[in-house]
Amino acid sequence: MNAYRAKPLRYPWPPVLYAAAMLAAVSLGRLAPISVAQSQGLIPWLAGGALIVVAVSLDIWAMKTLIERQTAVLPHRCSSHLVTCGPFRYTRNPTYLGYTIMMVGFGLIMLNPWFFILASASVALTTAFAIRNEELHLLSRFGFEFERYCRATSRWI
């Protein structure tokens, strides 16, 4: 039996990776701050807050869509259905995209460039170690249907 057919990951680590990246950004912002020009007033705070609202909404929409289609929400569980509706029409990884947007939002609110740097690193690590395994899982479970979906929908945006 194909190892990816049973489940894509042993542990649902992408949310943990993003949480660790956020904590590291806060810590690095205090220990090794990168100076940025202070912005006028509420603009970065409002932009960051708006991005966080978008990110949370995207995550909730993605989870709601997965639950409605009666398939796994957590990335270490076996998928029972290929979901191509809801936010999955626009991106194959809306929850991870939401986590990334949230990090950018917090970076704007805190005026901390480490959030942007570590968000980029989180995207690279999540793609290399989680998304590729998840895609192999979906390919082994849904074959041509998943290949067609990949051709029509981008991985991130």
The gap from C-alpha 8 to its chain's centroid, in whole angstroms, comes to: 16
For residue 2, what pLDDT is reported? 54
Q: Residue ranges of the chain with pLDDT lower than 50?
A: 1, 4
For residue 34, what pLDDT is reported? 86
pTM of the model: 0.89
For residue 39, what pLDDT is reported? 66
DSSP H helices in the chain: 3-6, 13-31, 43-68, 94-110, 114-126, 132-142, 144-152
Task: Identify the burial level of 87 via C-beta atoms within 10 angstroms of its C-beta, where 0-12 means exposed, 13-18 middle and 19 or more buried.
Answer: buried
- 82, 149 Cβ separation under 8 angstroms: yes
For residue 1, what pLDDT is reported? 47
